[in-house]
Amino acid sequence: MSRKVLFVSSSLRKGSASERIAREAEKGVIANCDDVEFVTLKDKDIRFCRGCLTCQDTGKCVIDDDARAIAEKIREADVLVFSTPIYYCGISGQLKTLLDRCNPLYGSDYRFREVFLVTTSEDDSPDAASGAIGSVKNWVSCFPEARVAGAFSGAGVGTEDPEDGKWADLMNDAFLFGKEI
């Protein structure tokens, strides 16, 4: 049976590096899977969780914005791939807000089993994404049927394009990362 793979790109930046890498990973996924969807948070209306916990009784968020539909897509996918720029050593605020807004999924019959993360950061050290991976692991730990299955760190990628060779290598690695998903 075909697996549904959902990408959620959280950078709002025009020409986003993390989105470009996620798009390349998507091409790798498409090589082996025909049920792939790519969602970007650009131009989406996603408001903060108010913490009312109504969703734990009703399974539905009281806020009527774009997070509702995205949370449903997350519930129904087999594999999730989140992408984020590294902000202050962690995930972007917009991804954190979306993960909070997925609280209606907590304790529900969610389908996802594997979660991947794509990051980019100015910092080119090997542990540049460790805070972000930790945040996503913490979220996934609340969904016991799922696990963080892999991460791709585009380390040393700022808002300026890296020199050609490095970018080509990153794209190639991202494609291969996607093929393994």
Site for ligand FMN in 148-167 (CB under 6 A): 157-159
Find the binder of ligand FMN among 1, 43, 88, 163 (CB under 6 A): 88
Minimum distance of ligand FMN from residue 19's CB (angstroms): 6
* Helix, coil or strand: residue 86: coil
Task: Give the nearer residue to ligand FMN in terms of CB position, either 103 or 120.
Answer: 120
**C-alpha 54 chain-centroid distance:** 25
Per-residue binding string, ligand FMN, 49-78, x by CB under 6 A, is: ------------------------------
117 membership: H or E segment, kind and range: strand 114-121
Q: Is 120 in the site for ligand FMN (CB under 6 A)?
A: yes
Q: What is the DSSP letter of 85?
A: E
* Greatest C-alpha distance within the chain: 53
Give the whole-angstrom CA distance, residue 49 versus residue 58. Answer: 15
Task: Give the nearer residue to ligand FMN in terms of CB position, either 34 or 122.
Answer: 122
**C-alpha 158 chain-centroid distance:** 19
User: What does the DSSP assignment read for 59-83?
Assistant: SS-SS-SHHHHHHHHHHH-SEEEEE
Find the binder of ligand FMN among 76, 122, 145, 180 (CB under 6 A): 122
Q: Is 33 in the site for ligand FMN (CB under 6 A)?
A: no
Find the binder of ligand FMN among 4, 7, 19, 136 (CB under 6 A): 19
Q: Is 17 in the site for ligand FMN (CB under 6 A)?
A: yes
Number of residues that bind ligand FMN (CB under 6 A): 19
Q: Which two tokens stand for residue 181?
A: 């998903």
Find the binder of ligand FMN among 35, 66, 100, 123 (CB under 6 A): 123
Give the whole-angstrom CA distance, residue 131 versus residue 147. Answer: 17
